[in-house]
Chains A and B, each alone.
Chain A
Amino acid sequence: MIIETNHVAKRFGRFEAIEDLSLRVPEGSVFALIGPNGTGKTTTIRMLMNILRPDRGDITVLGTPSRQLAPKDFERIGYVSEGQKLPEGLTLAQYFDFLRTLYPSWDASLEKEMCAQFELPPSRKLKHLSHGMRMKTLLVGALAFRPKLLVLDEPLSGLDTLVRDEVVNGLLQQAADTTILISSHELTEIETFTTHVAFMQNGRLLIQEAIETLQQRFRAVSVTLSAVKALPDPLPADWLLPQIEGHRLRFITSNFEGDQQVYQQLTQHFGAVKMECEPMALRAIANALMQQRKRNLQR
């Protein structure tokens, strides 16, 4: 594992920001940390980067306990976050000259290539960069030393579609050689190249899994019943958000193994049925898990 956390907790005053967080980020993955604003993604990342100290639990990053991460380790970790402090008075060229001295593995030709691709103006001062240019600059700074791990905190938020596309392309060009942890409140732009996903809600991890298996095991099932009947009691453990009204039944199965298996499960309780199992977008899976968790808490 490139990143591993065990039962991490963090509170700010009375506010429990993170509870019992155990993350596993495998080598070579593009790992998306997804959740609504204020759910603890940035706090998590700051603990991973040793900017914040966890109250409980332990964290290892590239095999080193997070509290012992030293400048030497950060020569292999690229980190980009929205609110990053920069030496605002420097020009872009001066800033990259400075970074080059910090990283032994700095690849000047990759730096040039990316700057040209992003159309970054070398003589402009950092304080005069637009938000989009600033994010691109940070990305060049984090990629040009070819890190083993790249940690990106909301790299796409506040960017227009064109710039998002450029940033995504920049990431894709490096994705083969790097493990990428990327936090975002939405999945859309990154869904096709993400390999693993973790959903967070209110400081807790709802699920973390390889996208392939997640998409295989979730299906939205809609059923037409031949006879009106109540839901099975107890409900099958893998059913989420069941809704029944007259002859119509809808639910989400989290353990799909084929239409046949769902069909049998249904006919055992309801007799003859007609049903359809629809694959679900990740966004829909995330929503279902969040709603189910809310329902469970209300009970």
Chain B
Amino acid sequence: MVPFKVKFSPGQSIFDQVVFAAIKSILAGELKAGEPFPSVRTLALDLKIHPNTAHKVVQHLGEQGWLVVQPKMGTVVAQPPKARAADRKRVLEHDVEKLVVDAIRVGASVTEVKQAVESAFIDLRGLKAIANE
């Protein structure tokens, strides 16, 4: 069984959505380091995605350091890779700017955006607390 949920939304690539869901569940602590990651076959059948897409997802997560292949265990979740300074900069500057531009365009205020960001943080942390119990 695939230990995370993907609710596919239109207009985004299936690959991106599955990768995002996997990373989110690792960061939220639902999938812990050392736990087995679902096989390509399981991913494809459970999420109803093309096996080639499932293969690409596993390969990509491996390349990015989210998964490692362990002898006899197969593919397992790695310790979350250390963030590079460049990634941090990209998120805090470019991605935030993009969020702000979008927010202005749809008429959301600073307070609304702050609240939304905070509650997203809390949601993810909350998942971690539940998963650790």
Contacts and interface: CB of A to CB of B under 8 A. Distances in A.
Nearest to A282: B10
Interface string B94-115: 0000000110011100000000
Contacts of A219: 11
Nearest to B102: A259
B23 interface: no
Given A169-B45, A274-B105, A274-B107, A279 B9 contact: yes
A176 B51 contact: yes
A259 B97 CA distance: 14
Contacts of B101: 259
**How many of chain B's residues touch chain A, expressed as a range?**
20 to 34
B105 A275 contact: yes
Nearest to A212: B13
B8 A172 contact: no
A22 interface: no
Given A278-B11, A280-B11, A284-B10, A193 B50 contact: yes
A94 interface: no
B18 to A, nearest CB: 10
Contacts of A216: 11
Contact of B48 (A168, A218, A278, A284): A168
Interface string A262-299: 01000000000011101111101000000000000000
A28 interface: yes
A193 B11 contact: no
B39 interface: no
A173 B54 CA distance: 12
Contacts of B75: none
B99 to A, nearest CB: 12
Contacts of A278: 11
Interface string B41-67: 100110111111101000000000000
B107 A192 contact: no
B131 to A, nearest CB: 26
Nearest to B41: A173
Which A-B residue pairs are the 5 nearest by beta carbons?
A: A279-B11, A281-B10, A176-B51, A193-B50, A192-B48
Interface of B: 8-14, 41, 44-45, 47-53, 55, 101-102, 105-107
Interface of A: 28, 30, 168-169, 172-173, 175-176, 191-195, 212, 215-216, 218-219, 259, 263, 274-276, 278-282, 284
24 contacts: A28-B52, A30-B50, A172-B44, A172-B49, A173-B41, A176-B52, A191-B8, A192-B48, A193-B48, A193-B49, A193-B53, A212-B13, A215-B13, A218-B11, A219-B11, A259-B101, A259-B102, A263-B105, A276-B106, A279-B11, A279-B12, A280-B10, A281-B11, A284-B10
